[in-house]
Amino acid sequence: MSNKTYLGSVTRESRPFILDTEKLRRANAKVTAAKAYKAGDLLTLSAANVVDHAVDEKTWTAVCGRDVSAVEATQMAADGVELPIYFGGVFSIEAICLAGVYLATGKYDAARAKATLNHIEFSKV
């Protein structure tokens, strides 16, 4: 009689985000209350220095620097605390998101083309 122990399979997903820390260019911007942000989200920046989620992979101006829940964003907006955003650097295209959802591979080319125009590099790791 043998004793068997079953260890379920574990799947871990790792998506590197920042690929070159020396080329980072960072700023801070106000958040939109009640919106969750994820590091790697594509963002638009208003003239009032407020970020919001980009409509698509072709219409964005900056990359979100950290995760913020909707509750945190509401508090940050009330307290005037700003979110770090990136407007320069080298990032993994596989870690880039639209409103918290990773880009489909079919959207990589458009996002990378806009990144080039924004002086950002999205690389495939």
What is the structure's pLDDT at 18? 80
Domain count, the chain: 1
Residue 118 is assigned to a structural domain of this protein: yes
Residues 85, 26: Cα–Cα separation, whole Å: 6
State CA 51 to chain mean position distance.
12
DSSP code for 82: P
What is the structure's pLDDT at 14? 63
Residue 104 is assigned to a structural domain of this protein: yes
Amino acid at 117: L
Residue 2 is assigned to a structural domain of this protein: no
The torsion defined by the Cα of 25, 29, 32 and 34, in degrees rounded to 10, comes to 80
Residues 15, 117: Cα–Cα separation, whole Å: 24
Residue 9 is assigned to a structural domain of this protein: no
Residue 11 is assigned to a structural domain of this protein: no
What is the structure's pLDDT at 3? 58
Residue 5 is assigned to a structural domain of this protein: no
Q: What is the CATH number of the domain that holds 70?
A: 2.40.300.10
In the predicted model, residues of the chain with pLDDT beneath 50 are: 6, 10-12
- pTM comes to 0.85
What is the structure's pLDDT at 21? 76
Residue 4 is assigned to a structural domain of this protein: no
What is the structure's pLDDT at 81? 96
Residue 8 is assigned to a structural domain of this protein: no
Domain coverage including residue 67? 18-123
What is the structure's pLDDT at 12? 47
